[in-house]
Structure 1
Amino acid sequence: MDSGKFPGSFAWGASTAAYQIEGGWDADGKGPNVWDTFTHQGGDRVLKNQTGDVACGSYTLWEEDLKCIKQLGLTHYRFSFSWSRLLPDGTTGFINQKGVDYYNKLIDSLLEMGVTPLVTLYHFDLPQAVEDQGGWLSEKTVDIFKQYAQFCYTTFGDRVKHWITINEPYYAARLSYESGIFAPGKKLKGIGGYRAAHNMIKAHAKAWHVYNTFFKDKQQGRVSIALDSDWAEPLDPNSLADKEATERYMFFRLHWFANPIFIDGDYPAIMKSIVSQKSKEEGLTSSRLPEFTEEEKAMIKGTADFFCLNYYTTRKVKPLDTTACEPHSNSDTGAEGITEPNWPISGVEWLAVVPWGLRRLLAHIKHSFGNPEIFITENGFAQADPPALQDVHRWGYYQETLMEVLKAIKLDGVNVKGYFAWSLLDNFEWNSGYSVRFGLFHVDFAQANLPRTPYYSANEYAKVVKGNELIYK
């Protein structure tokens, strides 16, 4: 395949997240979120103690973002609501009308441009008031999230028809409540990640049911969750140990969340067995992995109207020696993912560029989860700072990746419905601050007006979007 047309209704988009672009951290009645608190505490939690207080300034410069979207010719734009901008204490007890007005302006303007909004309800920025009540470690947050979702459907659902409840629960749970390197910085090793994930899955399911029961008939929208996953292959394809480690790697990554939601309402059997056995060996009376009740399993099963995938890289996998490891979801997995020396590395160390891994992962999703409609809701390639505006090599990676998506559609019969680049703008990349550049548009953070300038890759992406066609040279 040297070139090819994408399906006629293919969604071409770019993605952002509220905390990473909006700034205005305390503007117009917005309440604090966990990332506000986390970054303001300093202590090198983030590179150079940088914060998202200003970020890309999109709270005031949203019209500049629209110009970028228009320049790309996008059909879709994925962004997230700042929960605490809408509901300062996380609950509907007080609604911040200026936050509602902000998102109304953004949504209405997108629709006027012919751009379809895809809204994420939660992208890592939990209201601090909800965290103070236990956050995702507390089952109370399940119903608080359900009420927040219901508020959003009521307020914006007449225009928003594509919803994502939670972005990347794998990272949101593990990095925030087990390793503690993401806000709110809790370090409950071997327990926190599982408990937070458990509540996130239930919160997602309840939010889906609220929509399905009270809004779907009238609003005709759809709801899903954004799952991230590497693709994984055995380091030695002839090694049984490497094959088994690879299977564990995928079950503790993608299937941890996809099995309950897309298959049977419960965690993978291999995951339950391993954590239960390790818990017994540690002298615990119950598994560190919580259990769903039969009623909860029935509630969770089938709670996604399409499959949202965030893909960045691939790993070769071998067994991990866990004999000296403390309890942790990593040691439970018993698998170590490494990169091949010949794989190109982007501007951030963890991101090896492996386009063919996406095609194989898409085929895996097709065969594992009943051939769902799939939207690739994040995929991108970082540059280190200072970045090159003529990012020719990066566009080469985009081309190779889009070719693999096209192969998945045309050769493998995968039902891919859209592709969203991460990200529309250079932004606050969590612990890496502003040192990592994922944007299609360069943002000059040194200037007060935060000007946006298209990279070479933005101009080339716009050509693909315009023609709905990839021409690979």
Structure 2
Amino acid sequence: MPESAQPATPVTFPPAFLWGAATSAYQIEGAVREGGRTPSIWDTFSHTPGKTAGGEHGDIAVDHYHRYREDVALMAELGLSAYRFSISWSRVQPTGRGPAVQVGLDFYRRLVDELLEHGIKPAVTLYHWDLPQELEDAGGWPERDTALRFAEYAQIVGEALGDRVEQWITLNEPWCSAFLGYGSGVHAPGRTDPEASLRAAHHLNLAHGLGTTALRSVMPARNSVALSLNSSVVRPLSPQDPADLAAVRKIDDLANGVFHGPILHGAYPESLLTATEPITDWSYVLDGDLQTINQPLDALGLNYYTPALVSATDADANV
């Protein structure tokens, strides 16, 4: 060992620390036409030529729907103590509304039981981007009704699994659903409408608030309700340039504030409302919405990938 080198300090974790892994339904389940399941927006999107690399889709994926017992055994072999997975909305409610399909709920009941038998703590994400196609055909997340339907879905799943699952996540990375799905169009449903992306962002926020209330109405008080956000640290390219500093505020509002503001503080940033005036009038934010969205959280999931380095030119291009 070189003289300048220092021995590494051992890192220890508390006994209750959870070592886990996470998946989403469309990425792994397959069985897209079994048990009453109907297409989601990702089924439609991935079967549209040119939308995915090599035309890949999730029709089979890793066939988790049929091989979940093998998969859970592998998790146990790896020593996992927690596993976060998402529910396929269209497997539970094929049209996104109305009564549940028991075959779909039973699959998730069996999965939860298998995890618990192996000493693995389940965490359920209610929405990981796979909106039932029928709800998208009715307007999707830019429409308020989708948030109302989400609350009904949350109550159904909470009633079915809330006695055995203690950790719940309403939405996974709603920024991606709003801005990649309805703004840039690189995610399902592939729409490119800036105003629709902001409407979608608000209704995803509303869905979180309504879904949180619905879950807590049917589950034991000990259960934890959270959501997962993909937040970014936004930095100026030139810290001494006033234009770049202004750009940081603009991009930070769109990257973080559009969700952090109403969910954590009960209001959208005024700077966001001002900057987006040429795009939308925010008239779809109705009385009481912000109070509904601003529900107390038991936890906040932060999916952090990379910082964002911006300049005034970048901000103008993005907005």
When the two structures are superposed, what TM-score results if normalisation uses the length of structure 1? 0.63
How far apart are residue 192 of structure 1 and its match? Answer: 1.2
For residues 251-270 of structure 1, the aligned pairs below 5 Å read: 251-263=253-265, 265-270=266-271
CA contact (8 A) 2:46 2:56 kept: yes
Match status 1:193 vs 2:193:
no
How far apart are residue 11 of structure 1 and its match? Answer: 2.1
For residues 107-256 of structure 1, the aligned pairs below 5 Å read: 107-188=112-193, 190-212=194-216, 214-216=217-219, 218-256=220-258
How far apart are residue 45 of structure 1 and its match? Answer: 0.7
Query: Which of 297, 305, 312 is the equivalent residue of 1:312?
Result: 305
Partners in 1 of 2:295 and 2:241 — Cα distance? Answer: 35
Q: Which amino acid aligns with 2:248?
A: T
How far apart are residue 17 of structure 1 and its match? Answer: 0.2
Q: Which amino acid aligns with 1:209?
A: T
Partners in 2 of 1:321 and 1:68 — Cα distance? Answer: 45
For residues 397-408 of structure 1, the aligned pairs below 5 Å read: none
How far apart are residue 294 of structure 1 and its match? Answer: 4.2
How far apart are residue 310 of structure 1 and its match? Answer: 0.9
Partners in 2 of 1:148 and 1:262 — Cα distance? Answer: 23
For residues 22-61 of structure 1, the aligned pairs below 5 Å read: 22-40=29-47, 42-61=48-67
How far apart are residue 3 of structure 1 and its match? Answer: 3.1
Partners in 2 of 1:242 and 1:187 — Cα distance? Answer: 27
CA contact (8 A) 1:224 1:303 kept: no
Match status 1:86 vs 2:92:
yes
For residues 450-469 of structure 1, the aligned pairs below 5 Å read: none
Residue equivalent to 2:26: 19
SS across alignment from 1:253: helix
Residue equivalent to 2:275: 274
Structure 1 unmatched ranges of 5 or more: 280-286, 332-473
How far apart are residue 109 of structure 1 and its match? Answer: 0.9
Greater percentage in strand: 1
Partners in 2 of 1:11 and 1:100 — Cα distance? Answer: 26
How far apart are residue 220 of structure 1 and its match? Answer: 2.0
How far apart are residue 321 of structure 1 and its match? Answer: 5.8
Partners in 1 of 2:56 and 2:33 — Cα distance? Answer: 16
CA contact (8 A) 1:92 1:151 kept: no
SS across alignment from 2:84: strand
CA contact (8 A) 2:243 2:311 kept: yes
CA contact (8 A) 2:155 2:218 kept: no
Query: Which of 52, 60, 64 is the equivalent residue of 2:70?
Result: 64
Residue equivalent to 2:83: 77
Q: Which amino acid aligns with 2:68?
A: W
Are residues 293 and 28 of structure 1, via their aligned partners in 2, closer, same or farther at CA, if it must alter by over 3 Å?
closer
Q: Which amino acid aligns with 2:268?
A: Y
Are residues 19 and 235 of structure 1, via their aligned partners in 2, closer, same or farther at CA, if it must alter by over 3 Å?
same
For residues 389-468 of structure 1, the aligned pairs below 5 Å read: none
Partners in 1 of 2:169 and 2:315 — Cα distance? Answer: 36
How far apart are residue 114 of structure 1 and its match? Answer: 1.4
How far apart are residue 58 of structure 1 and its match? Answer: 0.6
Residue equivalent to 1:354: none
When the two structures are superposed, what TM-score results if normalisation uses the length of structure 2? 0.91
Partners in 1 of 2:276 and 2:65 — Cα distance? Answer: 44
How far apart are residue 136 of structure 1 and its match? Answer: 0.8
CA contact (8 A) 2:247 2:315 kept: no
Residue equivalent to 1:302: 295
How many residues align? The count is 312
CA contact (8 A) 1:205 1:303 kept: no
Partners in 1 of 2:315 and 2:46 — Cα distance? Answer: 33
Residue equivalent to 2:3: none
How far apart are residue 288 of structure 1 and its match? Answer: 4.3
Moved over 6 A (4+): none
Q: Which amino acid aligns with 1:258?
A: H
Residue equivalent to 1:358: none
CA contact (8 A) 2:46 2:55 kept: yes
How far apart are residue 303 of structure 1 and its match? Answer: 4.0
Partners in 1 of 2:249 and 2:275 — Cα distance? Answer: 13
Residue equivalent to 1:412: none
The RMSD of aligned alpha carbons is: 1.9
CA contact (8 A) 2:244 2:311 kept: yes
Partners in 2 of 1:302 and 1:275 — Cα distance? Answer: 25
